Amino acid sequence: MVNSTLHYFIFSTYMYVGSLKYLYFLLTAMLYMLIVFVNIFLIVLICMNRSLHEPMYIFLCSLFVNELYGSTGLFPLLLVQILSDVHTVSAPLCFLQIFCLYTYAQVEFCNLAVMSYDRYLAICCPLQYNTLMTFNRAVTLIAGMWIYSYVKFLITLFLTITLPFCGNIINSLYCHNYLVVKLACSDIQVNNIYGIFGSVLTVLVPLLPILFSYTKILQVCFSGSQQTRRKAISTCTPHLASLINFSFGCMFEILQSRFNMASVPSIVRIILSLYFLLIQPLLNPVMYSMQLSRIRNTCKHLLSFKIKAGCKCQS
């Protein structure tokens, strides 16, 4: 039966785990709190330390804000569903989660693309870097990629919301646009065409500057001195690791949602579907804080200052 005014969706992937749900809830809540803590800590660290008010760290701040945004789009509803015996979600909340998670993925790719271009300018054009990449230009790039991501997916979401639905069972742990569209009774050709077009834009727009930037960086590494190669590797390693990890996570989710993976154990499917939403928000702040010496030194300075202050108070 066609239901043009659908009120709720049902998640079918949650397994009955009995009393273990409290353990899963505790572990998930601890992971969410850890993600929130490390990302907020680094955002505050960058904002409060004037020596870090440079384009590279402004882009990192935007990346950490996006990790908070994507995690908040997933974890609160996930925690509610873990404790609940009836795994339903209201239609407006489901569409809101779709919007948050898809724009999170788009912003993540765009942010990584802008960061790769910034590294290209720093390594390949060091003398012109301060002229080519000013603070205002960095802020403009960040605002542009967030606006672009929001506008592009608003069209996708509008096409989904206006569909009449024949069912309300989503085979996932969270709301997924493609799985919701599959529940529609009417012709979804427009959704499919724009979905393919949007997916190409999601990948192609960030991929072009990434490929261009790293092609130029590799040319400099092969033709430059050992010191130049060492600097390029230390600067680009966390960015490349983040890019590869997120790309594989998104690929896992696409395979999970679009192909029949019934032969794969359910726990493996669950891990694959959540991989890019669980690992990336924790991996980025930990990896960048450990790899980038200025962030690492600032953290050490803060810790030593607090220890000294504590010793003075005790004395």
Pair 11, 173: CB distance under 8 Å: yes
What pLDDT does residue 76 have? 94
Give which of 257, 222, 224, 217 is closest to 240, Cα–Cα.
217
CA separation for the pair 56, 62 (Å, rounded): 10
| All structural domains of the chain | 8-291 (1.20.1070.10)
What pLDDT does residue 167 have? 85
What pLDDT does residue 310 have? 52
Along the chain (315 residues), what's the average pLDDT of each consecutive run of 10 residues? 66 75 90 94 87 88 95 93 88 94 93 92 88 91 94 91 88 88 86 82 85 86 74 78 85 72 70 82 84 68 56 52
For 30, other C-beta atoms within 10 Å of its C-beta total 10
Structure tokens at 109: 């790719």
What pLDDT does residue 194 have? 85
CA separation for the pair 259, 178 (Å, rounded): 12
What pLDDT does residue 1 have? 41
Give which of 94, 95, 44 is closest to 68, Cα–Cα.
44
Pair 17, 24: CB distance under 8 Å: yes
Give which of 253, 237, 239, 249 is closest to 280, Cα–Cα.
249
Structure tokens at 188: 């979804």
CA separation for the pair 75, 273 (Å, rounded): 14
**CB under 8 Å to 220, separation ≥6 — which residues?**
123, 124, 228, 232
Pair 235, 123: CB distance under 8 Å: yes
**CB under 8 Å to 274, separation ≥6 — which residues?**
74, 173
Sheet hosting strand 8-11, strand order edge to edge: 88-90, 8-11, 169-170
Query: Residue-wise over 63-101: b if at least 16 C-beta within 10 A, else e?
Result: bbbbbbbbbbbbbebbbebbeeeebebebeebbbbbbbb
Matching residue, tokens 């060091």:
126
| SS3 category, 88 | strand
CA separation for the pair 146, 144 (Å, rounded): 6
Helix, strand, coil percentages, rounded to 5, for the chain: 80, 5, 20
What pLDDT does residue 300 have? 67
Pair 1, 166: CB distance under 8 Å: yes
Structure tokens at 214: 């790293």
Give which of 228, 210, 187 is closest to 113, Cα–Cα.
210
> For 190, phi and psi rounded to 5 degrees?
-65, -40
Tell which phi-psi region holds residue 18, choosing left (phi > 0), alpha (psi between -120 and 50) or beta: left
